[in-house]
């Protein structure tokens, strides 16, 4: 069964499995103790730190291991803010950061917008920096659409302003070190084929940093508690292993992803491939299908043997659109993220492309999606009542009647689903119609669309 969701968690690398077993046998003792078993554990810990530091491109004494990537982010943000508390508490983030970064930054953070492919403008970061800005955060590559960010240029902007930059490198570290003069970096081992329960945080020398955990004698207070040494050793070993394979695998997987990017719009009508087509991770592609419920689509693909994920509102417990897709202004409905593991074959991709059209067609038919022959009338304007119905139903109803008004006529869609605020304007972009805007309504929101074609 092809597993196409390595962006969520990569399968355990064989090297990680071997290192994990070996360290369970040799690294079970407390590395802070001076007897033989403790010294052996300390040697393993120091070797893992050196290997990870080499992969990141930092000094070993700048790197600490954490229980997870999320914990690394939270420790990095809180420590940097505490270290620069005299400057202020203002934080600058991009609007497409991982939720762990957004939550750590707080509600008062300034969000820098992105363009339609999910990329930030370094000039916008420069404009967002203030005298009381204590920290800026930017991911190296987006976790939902794969777009790579201009970290090196943003780091220059932040350095010139005297503001440290924290980079969330969870998605990209397997493919190479993060360039630029950044100040802090966080990552998570299970994203590159290491075990869950291990992350890393790098704090460059010279960065003001005050750890916000109770300190003890370990690591001068920077890594309190007994380290999960087997997970740490396996994380470092697998990072070194995937880096050794990265150049060759990146070329191979990029070719497979290019095949998906090119073929999906040819095989499935009304599909938008999102994210930067060039500056992107080599193994990840995301596309949105009109008139498709994301949760249903993922279940049907799972029935066909493919494990994929989605940033669609339909797969969220909050029933709201993905903040990444909202920031990009693209469709949230029918959103599919495919992220290929290292052992993916061309045959796996070909079978996915063979299965996808019939799965999408079946889901659309089940939801009552429009066909090319359904638009026949000539009413000057129409109102569609989609109150109480979740997306993609409001968009489906809009598509069914848009041809029933003359050119220049309008359709007003009444909806109380938050996803409609994103999906209706995005539908207009895809179908070359004009999104007029929102109007007040007794219930929900009225979305007005003018027919242009």
**Which residues have a catalytic role annotated?**
314
User: Smallest Cα–Cα separation from 398: which of 416, 387, 412?
Assistant: 412
User: Smallest Cα–Cα separation from 143: which of 339, 343, 298, 331?
Assistant: 339
For residues 282 and 129, what is the distance between their CA atoms, to the nearest angstrom?
32
Count of CB atoms situated within 10 Å of the CB of 332: 30
Distances (CA, A) of 193 to 11, 66, 328: 5, 16, 29
User: Smallest Cα–Cα separation from 168: which of 99, 114, 242?
Assistant: 99
Tell me phi and psi for residue 127, to 5 degrees.
Answer: -70, -25
């Amino acid at each position: 069964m092809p597993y196409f969701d390595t962006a969520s968690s990569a399968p355990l690398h064989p090297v990680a499995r071997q290192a994990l077993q070996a360290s369970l046998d040799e690294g079970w003792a407390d590395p802070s103790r001076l007897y033989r078993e403790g010294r052996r554990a300390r040697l393993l810990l120091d070797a893992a730190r050196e290997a990870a530091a080499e992969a990141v491109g930092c000094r070993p004494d700048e790197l600490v291991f954490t229980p997870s990537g999320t914990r690394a982010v939270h420790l990095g943000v809180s420590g940097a803010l505490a270290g620069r508390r005299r400057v202020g508490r203002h934080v600058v983030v991009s609007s497409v950061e991982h939720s762990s970064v957004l939550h750590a930054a707080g509600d008062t953070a300034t969000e820098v917008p992105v363009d339609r492919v999910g990329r930030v403008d370094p000039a916008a970061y420069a404009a967002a920096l203030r005298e009381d800005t204590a920290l800026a955060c930017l991911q190296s590559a987006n976790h939902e659409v794969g777009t790579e960010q201009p970290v090196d240029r943003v780091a220059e902007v932040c350095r010139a302003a005297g503001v440290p930059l924290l980079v969330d490198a969870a998605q990209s570290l397997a493919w190479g070190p993060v360039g630029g003069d950044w100040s802090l970096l966080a990552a998570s081992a299970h994203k590159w084929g290491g075990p869950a329960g291990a992350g890393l945080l790098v704090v460059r020398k010279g960065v003001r940093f005050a750890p916000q955990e109770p300190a003890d004698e370990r690591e001068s207070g920077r890594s309190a508690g007994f380290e999960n040494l087997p997970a740490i050793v396996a994380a470092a070993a697998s990072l070194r292993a995937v880096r050794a394979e990265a150049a060759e695998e990146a070329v191979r997987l990029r070719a497979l992803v290019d095949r998906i990017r090119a073929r999906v719009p040819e095989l499935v009508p009304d599909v938008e491939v999102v994210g930067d087509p060039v500056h992107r991770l080599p193994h990840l592609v995301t596309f949105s299908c009109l008139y498709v419920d994301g949760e249903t689509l993922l279940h049907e693909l799972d029935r066909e043997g493919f494990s994929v994920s989605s940033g669609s509102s339909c797969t969220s417990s909050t029933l709201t659109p993905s903040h990444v897709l909202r920031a990009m202004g693209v469709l949230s409905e029918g959103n599919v993220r495919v992220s290929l593991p290292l052992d993916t074959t061309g045959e796996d991709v070909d079978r996915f492309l063979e299965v996808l059209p019939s799965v999408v067609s079946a889901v659309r038919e089940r939801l009552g999606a429009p066909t090319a022959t359904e638009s026949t009338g000539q009413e000057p304007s129409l109102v569609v009542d989609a109150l109480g119905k979740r997306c993609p139903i409001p968009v489906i109803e809009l598509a069914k009647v848009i041809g029933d008004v003359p050119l220049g006529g309008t359709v007003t869609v009444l909806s109380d689903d938050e996803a409609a605020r994103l999906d209706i304007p995005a539908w207009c972009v895809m179908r070359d119609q004009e999104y007029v805007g929102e109007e007040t309504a007794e219930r929900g929101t009225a979305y007005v669309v003018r027919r242009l074609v």
